[in-house]
Amino acid sequence: MKHLILLLLTISVMACGSGGDPAPTPTPTPPTPTVSVATLVKKVWTVSSAQWDGVTKYEKSSTSNVVQGYSQYKLDLSTAGSVTLTEFDGKIFTGTYTVATDGLSLTLNGLTSADGAPTGTGGTIIYTILVTPTATTLSLQQTTAYVKASSAIVKLALVNP
């Protein structure tokens, strides 16, 4: 009986050992590609909310906004390097844009229209990108006070519907 048990154990060990086909190597899951900020911002954006020095001036869902004009604001970055900015006062400017290689700032350059550059900007507006954009949200804050916004720092929560 001892010999039979020993024989069965030996057969079991050999069946599980390296004598059989090797176990298949699992296929590694490829890493999820990281989408650059420059790619994420390449859309047409409208305002969800706007603040001047921390005071909300416009909220898309509100009916009693201090600055109603933000309902027409549009930041068109859909063509790489080319920007069309429709300000809250309805004026439309065109120029170029760049996203910093670290993804932390957005610069609008050479903004111009038939009336010239946006007031007090010299044609350049620089935004800090506050959080990594998503497919539908972009959060920006101007790096300097903006004359058109009562010389306040403007913070924009933008959406791509």
pLDDT over 70 (residue 16): no
CATH architecture of 37-159: Beta Barrel (2.40)
Res 9: pLDDT: 56
How much is the pLDDT for 139?
A: 98
Long-range Cβ contacts of 16-25 (<8 Å, 24+ apart): none
Backbone angles phi, psi at 68, to 5 degrees: -60, -25
- Whether residue 8 has pLDDT greater than 90: no
The pLDDT value given to residue 27: 79
| pLDDT attached to residue 4 | 55
Residue 14 has pLDDT above 80, yes or no: no
- pLDDT of residue 5 exceeding 80, the answer is no
**Does the pLDDT of residue 11 top 90, yes or no?**
no
Question: DSSP letters of 4-47?
Answer: HHHHHHHHHHHHHSTTSPPPPPPPPPPPPPPPPHHHHT-SEEEE
Q: What is the pLDDT of residues 31-74, one digit of tens each?
A: 777 889 999 999 999 999 999 999 999 999 999 999 999 999 99
Structure tokens at 8: 């069965």
Q: What confidence tens digit (pLDDT) does each residue in 80-124 have?
A: 999 999 999 999 999 999 999 999 999 999 999 998 999 899 999
pLDDT of 30 = 76
Conformational region of residue 16, where left means phi above 0, alpha means psi within -120 to 50, and beta covers everything else: alpha
